[in-house]
Homo-oligomer: A and B are copies of this chain.
Amino acid sequence: MANPPETALASICVTCPHRETGLCGTLLGSIAETDPQPRWQHFFSARPGEQIVVRNQAYDDVFVLCSGWAFGYFQLADGRRQILKFLLPGDMLSSLAVFEKSSLLSVKALTGVQLSGFVRSEIRARLATSPEIQSTLANSCIADVRHSTELLTALGQCTAEQRIAHLLLQLIPRIEARNVIREQRYPFPLRQQHIADAVGLTPVHVSRVLGGFRERQLVELSEGVLKVINLRELERIGLLR
């Protein structure tokens, strides 16, 4: 995971899996025609576990994840934390960063990551004239709200099994959209601690539930790989109806 030289970095975002629909690609598409090295954009990277954004701190950039996994979370004073969303390549760290300087969330890298930062003022200027950027942003906000609605319902109303199944089901299509999947084996860099923090359980209990899933031949999770054996049954457990 060595850092590629600066000159190579620009190509990373252009190859974002979501450049067709994502803000990153939308913006880069518009500069390709005009300015190959804009001042209002920069790339950088972070190591696994490194903090990228601190809640309530002010930033002049809007960030897009270009490669790797990250997660947004809310930290409590006593060490507990709630993970609110996992971020995959093409995701904006926070859609509302376009309007608000201070971040609503803390963000940490889960794997090694590469990011793109766009200067907010420039995005807002373009937002005013580009319907494409407008709808990209609106869609990102809608996806965010839809996701947190579901997560809230899962946390408030569902059992441990259902919550974990729901988390997996929510991630599976997003991983599929970004990777070639062979033999139902999905790249999956979360530790059980991350799952626990995301669904409001202890790591110990997560281990027991995943053990149950394995025994029942639903999914197997180890070494950064999620193997999906019985998707139908997983959906029966984890789909919100």
B76 A138 Cβ-Cβ under 8 A:
no
A197 partner residues in chain B, CB cutoff 8 A: 156
A149 B100 Cβ-Cβ under 8 A:
no
Q: Measured between C-beta atoms, what is the minimum distance from A192 to chain B in Å?
A: 15
Evaluate whether A82 and B156 lie within 8 angstroms (CB atoms) in the complex, with A76-B241, A77-B241, A240-B76 already known: yes
A200 B145 Cβ-Cβ under 8 A:
no
A149 partner residues in chain B, CB cutoff 8 A: 74, 84, 104-105, 148
Q: List the B residue with the shortest CB-CB distance to A200.
A: B156
Q: Measured between C-beta atoms, what is the minimum distance from A162 to chain B in Å?
A: 10
A200 partner residues in chain B, CB cutoff 8 A: 155-157
**A84 CA to B150 CA in the complex, in Å?**
10
**A76 CA to B149 CA in the complex, in Å?**
12
Q: Measured between C-beta atoms, what is the minimum distance from A240 to chain B in Å?
A: 6
Q: Measured between C-beta atoms, what is the minimum distance from A36 to chain B in Å?
A: 31
Q: List the B residue with the shortest CB-CB distance to A80.
A: B157
A84 partner residues in chain B, CB cutoff 8 A: 149, 152-153
A199 partner residues in chain B, CB cutoff 8 A: 156
Query: Residues 193-230 of chain A: 1 if any B CB is under 8 Å from the residue's CB, otherwise 0?
Result: 00001111000000000000000000000000000000
Q: Any chain B CB within 8 A of the CB of A14?
A: no
Partner of A138, one of B100, B145, B151: B100
Add 9 more A-B contacts to A76-B241, A148-B148 (CB < 8 A): A74-B150, A81-B157, A84-B149, A96-B141, A99-B135, A99-B138, A104-B142, A152-B155, A156-B197
Residues of A near any B CB (own CB < 8 A): 74, 76-77, 80-82, 84, 96, 99-100, 104-105, 135, 138, 141-142, 144-146, 148-153, 155-157, 197-200, 240-241
Could you show 27 A-B contacts with beta carbons less than 8 Å apart? A74-B149, A74-B150, A74-B152, A74-B153, A76-B153, A76-B240, A82-B152, A82-B153, A84-B149, A84-B152, A96-B138, A99-B141, A99-B142, A100-B142, A104-B145, A104-B146, A105-B149, A144-B145, A148-B148, A148-B149, A148-B152, A151-B152, A152-B152, A155-B156, A155-B200, A156-B199, A157-B200
